[in-house]
Amino acid sequence: AAGWTGLPEGTPVAVGAIDAHVTAAAARCVAPGRMLAVLGTSTCLIMNADDCHEVPGVCGVVDGGVSAGSWGYEAGQSGVGDIFAWYVDRALPAPYADQARRRGVSPYELLDSLAAEQPVGGHGLLALDWHSGNRSVLMDHELSGVLVGLTLATRPEEIWRALLEATAFGARTVVEAFTAAGVPVRELTAAGGLTANRLLLRIYADVLGRPLHVLDAAQPAALGAAIHAAVAGGAYPDVLTASEAMDAPHRETFHPDPARAAAYDELYAEYRALHDHFGRGGTDVLHRLRALRNRALRD
């Protein structure tokens, strides 16, 4: 290998790792109890723990799976940013796209500005974030998205906010599943492309009812890879030590607003009722609709 690459013999070579897993080191989320949410087209929820527990929606709990010396957990949501992109690309009325162009902003920025001042629950809507199925906690990719509460007065920005809220509710189901399984989440940090959306981060903090730290790193996975490489190269004895020395700072922390958080608790209870009805056997209509669609397209 030295002759092939031109590198001196004995140069340490670090093996590859999963992007979201190495990002935990960049976010200083290696210690037990610190959960990392990588918010992008989908969401990965990463955490270490001292012990092995069975958590619903976590297919593999691996000793050393995220970092050596701890049990690594990875849960996730199959669709997050993909849901937002679907709505803008496929469902946003043309006048809204025209208005965004006239203002010199993206449709996403326009929708955020229109939705930002809505009171919690003011749109009368509730959505299930299953447009790409449900990874955690149901592990059922045959499920599909649901939107209830529509009226003739419903506006596009209200649907937009309901979709943002649905992904936050989905994240809360995962956090609660960890806690119920004996793996408490003591701190939550967010990384990834969707951290550019301040409305989304505010909603997440309010829905989760806890501070949400936001990582200040344009390429956190690359930083996490460098942290692991520093350990492989002998600069640090372990990933925990390297993470504490090389991690990215927090850009800011979103704190929950008590009044909004209380209102979201009430709305989240309705989300869980809808979640369990469509996802835990109250009705099989989503699976039947999927089967009907597949048969129609096949025939």
3-class SS of residue 195: helix
* CA-based nearest residue to 158, from 127, 198, 197, 130: 127
The CATH architecture one would assign to domain 14-294 is 2-Layer Sandwich (3.30)
DSSP string, 200-263: HHHHHHHHHTS-EEEE--SSHHHHHHHHHHHHHTTSSSSHHHHHHHHPPPEEEEEPPPHHHHHH
Domain coordinates of the chain in residue numbers? 14-294
pLDDT at 16: 84
pTM confidence score: 0.95
Residue 63: per-residue pLDDT: 95
* DSSP assigned state of 299: -
Which run of H or E residues covers position 101?
A: helix 94-103
Question: Cβ(70)–Cβ(52) under 8 Å?
Answer: no
Tens digit of pLDDT per residue, the chain (299 long)?
899 999 999 888 878 889 999 999 999 999 999 999 999 999 999 999 999 999 988 887 999 999 999 999 999 999 999 999 999 999 999 999 999 999 999 999 999 999 999 999 999 999 999 999 999 999 999 999 999 999 999 999 999 999 999 999 999 999 999 999 999 999 999 999 999 999 999 999 999 999 999 999 999 999 999 999 999 999 999 999 999 999 999 999 999 999 999 999 999 999 999 999 999 999 999 999 999 999 999 98
Element (H, E) at 147: strand 146-148
